[in-house]
């Protein structure tokens, strides 16, 4: 087990993005806020405009409030309350939590359960920090406690309930995307027209940079996290990556990572090292990055087309497959990979 790896990788990711950022916002009036204690990751907001101080204060308050209500590590959070009352009673939830859960169930249906908001019992079983392979029996038990139909949402009463004891929702694949959409509302309300939001590597580029050119987002090389596989030039869109290189442990040469196939109960094994999804809606991009990582390259293509998303897949055989539509926006440069476009 390489316990330091996940933190190291997260810092590397953060560093690579900071590097790109600082080179993009030098000598301008951008204001940056760094946040270390939200969603278990490092975040950074970089804004340009008249009301940057006010907008950053509001964004900071929103992120801390959301984290307090959603963190599974906080026993007082709404999510902890929902999970501990599984099979027992319904729990009162705030409006945005209910909205996020309702939409998450809809997308669990949409992705045929490869993204499943109730994957918590399996995620907890595979607790990466423990670095232990669970028994087949315990995996089977946890699979039975997984299924989006176990989450009942009552919008009128503003409550939700998990109908099976031991079932648990897990917001790991959605909270950052959902929060990004809320941050965008705050930015727009404050008249901010140029910004880069980065919640733990989940990025959203608002508008162009101050010089009128698009933002450049480096896509990390899953095989060497100090490098990138290329840069994406984008505006008004989110760019969100799921990969097997951030949170994992290794045993007997096998990597056990943090994204679970809810059908097998094991870390997904679809031949991918990472997938980056590009969509104007950060919530959809966050969900699809996780879903496509589980589903695999070829089988994800209908989902991407239907949802009007673009993507970049990095496969175990060192090929980068990128949407042909990205041709003019994706500047690639890494000799460790073969690059192929797809339609
Ligand atoms: P990251 O959190 O590193 O940005 P993702 O957005 O892909 O990456 O989310 C992965 C997290 O989502 C896991 O750490 C876990 O909490 C949760 N998760 C794992 N597998 C699934 C799944 N199949 N469906 C929904 N959530 C998942
Ligand atoms: Mg995700």
Successive 10-residue mean pLDDT values, the chain, 343 residues:
38 46 66 96 95 97 98 96 98 98 98 98 95 97 98 98 98 98 98 97 96 97 96 98 94 94 98 98 98 98 98 98 97 96 96
173 lines ligand 1 (CB under 6 A): yes
- Which ligand lies nearest to the CA atom of residue 105 in the structure? 1
Q: What per-residue confidence (pLDDT) applies to 3?
A: 33
Across 210-253, where does the E strand assignment appear?
Answer: 215-220, 228-234, 237-243, 248-251
257 lines ligand 1 (CB under 6 A): no
Q: What per-residue confidence (pLDDT) applies to 25?
A: 65
336 vs 322: CA distance, rounded Å = 16
Residues, Cβ < 5 Å to ion ligand 2: 173, 286, 289-290
DSSP 8-state code for residue 258: S
Closest Cα to atom 10 of ligand 1:
173
Q: What per-residue confidence (pLDDT) applies to 9?
A: 43
Q: What per-residue confidence (pLDDT) applies to 21?
A: 55
Pocket test for ligand 1, best of 290, 294, 313 (most atoms within 8 A of CB): 290
- Which ligand lies nearest to the CA atom of residue 238 in the structure? 2
Tell the residue number behind the tokens 């990572």, with chain if given. Answer: 257
CA of 180 to the centre of ligand 2 (A): 12
* Atom of ligand 1 minimally distant from the CA of 174: 6
Tell the residue number behind the tokens 């359960």, with chain if given. Answer: 113
- Which sign, positive or negative, has the C-alpha torsion 332, 179, 173, 66? positive
Closest Cα to atom 24 of ligand 1:
115
Q: How far is CA 175 from the centre of its chain?
A: 8
Pocket test for ligand 1, best of 173, 288, 300 (most atoms within 8 A of CB): 173
Helix H or strand E segment including 189: helix 175-189
Across 49-150, where does the E strand assignment appear?
Answer: 91-92
User: Which residues have CB under 8 Å from 245's CB, separation 6+?
Assistant: 9, 220, 222, 223, 225, 257, 273, 274
DSSP conformation letters of 87-101: TT--EE--HHHHHHH
Neighbours of 96 (CB within 10 A): 17
244 lines ligand 1 (CB under 6 A): no
CA of 239 to the centre of ligand 2 (A): 11
340 vs 322: CA distance, rounded Å = 6
221 lines ligand 1 (CB under 6 A): no
Q: What per-residue confidence (pLDDT) applies to 114?
A: 98
213 vs 265: CA distance, rounded Å = 44
């Amino acid at each position: 087990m390489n316990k330091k790896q996940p933190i190291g990788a997260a810092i590397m990711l953060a560093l690579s993005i900071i590097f790109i950022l600082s080179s993009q916002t030098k000598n301008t009036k951008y204001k940056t806020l760094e946040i270390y204690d939200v969603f278990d990751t490092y975040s950074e907001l970089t804004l340009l405009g008249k009301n940057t101080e006010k907008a950053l204060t509001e964004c900071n308050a929103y992120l801390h409030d959301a984290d307090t209500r959603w963190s599974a590590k906080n026993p007082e959070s709404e999510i902890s309350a929902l999970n501990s009352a599984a099979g027992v009673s319904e729990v009162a939830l705030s409006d945005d939590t209910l909205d996020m859960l309702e939409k998450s169930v809809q997308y669990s249906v949409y992705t045929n359960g490869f993204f499943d908001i109730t994957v918590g019992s399996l995620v907890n079983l595979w607790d990466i920090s423990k670095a232990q392979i669970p028994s087949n029996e315990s995996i089977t038990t946890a699979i039975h406690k997984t299924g989006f139909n176990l989450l009942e949402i009552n919008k009128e009463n503003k409550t939700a309930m998990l109908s099976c004891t031991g079932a648990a929702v897990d917001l790991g694949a959605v909270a950052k995307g959902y929060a990004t959409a809320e941050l965008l509302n705050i930015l727009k309300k404050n008249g901010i027209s140029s910004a880069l939001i980065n919640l733990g590597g989940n990025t959203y580029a608002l508008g162009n940079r101050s010089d009128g050119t698009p933002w450049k987002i480096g896509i990390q090389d899953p095989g060497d996290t100090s490098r990138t596989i290329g840069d994406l030039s984008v505006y008004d869109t989110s760019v969100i990556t799921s990969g097997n290189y951030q949170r994992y442990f290794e045993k007997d040469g096998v990597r056990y990572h943090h994204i679970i196939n809810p059908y097998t109960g094991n870390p997904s094994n679809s031949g991918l090292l990472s997938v980056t999804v590009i969509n104007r809606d950060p919530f959809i991009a966050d969900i699809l990055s996780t879903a496509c990582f589980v589903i695999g390259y070829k089988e994800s293509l209908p989902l991407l087309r239907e949802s009007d998303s673009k993507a970049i897949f990095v496969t175990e055989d060192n090929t980068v497959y990128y949407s042909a539509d990205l041709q003019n926006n994706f500047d690639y440069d890494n000799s460790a990979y073969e690059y192929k476009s797809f339609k």
